[in-house]
Copies of this chain bind each other. A is one copy, B any other.
Amino acid sequence: MIKKPYLLFLGDAHDRLAAKVAIGINDWRPQYAVGQIRLARCNADLGIDEISIAEAVERGAKTMVIGVANRGGVISEGWKPHLLEALEAGMDLASGLHVLLNDQPDLVDMARKHGRKLFDVRKPNVDYPIADGQKRSGKRCVAVGTDVSVGKMYVSLALHQEMLARGMKTAFRATGQTGILVEGDGVPLDAVVADFMAGSIEYLSPAQDDDHWDFIEGQGSLFHASYSGVTLSIIHGGQPDALILCHEPTREFMRGLPGYKLPSLEALRDLSLTMAKVVNPDCKVAGISLNTRNMEESEARKVVDETEQRMGLPTTDPVRFGVGKIVDSLLAI
């Protein structure tokens, strides 16, 4: 478990997208972000206090999170003095980069010297079991998409937040780098070995009280040739009671797969339910989440209404219109 709160390190992020990990943390857990560090030529800005490492420690920061990704996922030499300083000042480091903190001898030495920890969230640090398919108590919700990057993590975090606001028992279960850094814990599923994928999801989402909802972060898509196996292992390891269908209405082709058209929401519903019913015959679709970022407000309203009518399911864009009605739908399950 990564200790909070965080100092968010943006390095020399050349644009906003490069800092998406830091943005995700600050959007979803602003209470964890005591401030940001931006180096020269940094073009991303979270709009929170720019502070020094010493100030971060004064404000109680326990971990400096590398909230930036660069080409190749390497640890830039220009960042090193700051990383070393953070360790020296008493903070742990956390990173979702491909290149590992734990493979940097200077960081490893400094961490050892000061009794600090280096968290590489891209690397599993648990021996996950093989899934046993045993029914677990508690409720589980999995977001599935017509494609990758259609807002599965976002709607899950929003539903979790809405349930918290209503005083309900709930947890967000992260399966990707950003989600893990947002939550401070989780399974880096894309780096788990094939035989243990579904088992890692069972491990991530153990038995709970009957009125507790786990929101398991989705990955990939059953229709995306590159990652569909990862998606299916979440559905079969997650034993969902409810599915949320996610879609980006303006997208025509699958991301990274030129020539592959997106499936319909109907096809997504049918295939996802068929798969979920293998492990939970009572699974239902609770609602639809549309990512309308590329649309005008009026157009977004229209596509949400039309989709809701056509599919007969509560439909929303979590960012624009909130997720209240999907939580109502979950509670009716």
Which A residues fall within an 8 A CB radius of B?
A: 130-133, 189-195, 197-199, 222-223, 225-233, 236-237, 254, 256-257, 259-260, 263, 271, 274-275, 278-279
Contacts and interface: CB of A to CB of B under 8 A. Distances in A.
A73 to B, nearest CB: 13
Nearest to A263: B278
Contacts of A278: 222-223, 225, 228, 263
Contacts of A237: 225
Nearest to A131: B226
12 contacts: A131-B226, A132-B226, A132-B256, A133-B254, A191-B193, A191-B195, A193-B193, A194-B229, A228-B232, A228-B233, A229-B231, A271-B274
B198 A190 contact: no
A191 B232 CA distance: 17
Given A232-B232, A257-B133, A199 B226 contact: yes
A198 B256 CA distance: 14
A134 to B, nearest CB: 8
Nearest to A202: B225
A263 B132 CA distance: 18
Nearest to A278: B223
Contacts of A231: 229
B233 A194 contact: yes
Contacts of A193: 190-194
A233 to B, nearest CB: 3
* Those 10 A-B pairs whose CB atoms lie nearest each other, nearest first: A229-B233, A229-B229, A133-B225, A190-B195, A131-B226, A225-B236, A133-B257, A229-B232, A232-B232, A194-B230
A244 B281 CA distance: 26
A265 to B, nearest CB: 16
A194 B195 contact: no
A263 B233 CA distance: 18
A164 to B, nearest CB: 30
A25 to B, nearest CB: 23
A325 B155 CA distance: 51
Contacts of A236: 225-226, 228-229
Contact of A198 (B195, B225, B271): B225
Given A232-B232, A271-B274, A225 B131 contact: yes
Contacts of A222: 232, 275, 278
Contacts of A274: 271, 274
A278 to B, nearest CB: 5
A190 B222 CA distance: 19
Nearest to A130: B226
Contacts of A271: 274-275
A57 B6 CA distance: 63
Contacts of A194: 189-194, 197, 229-230, 233
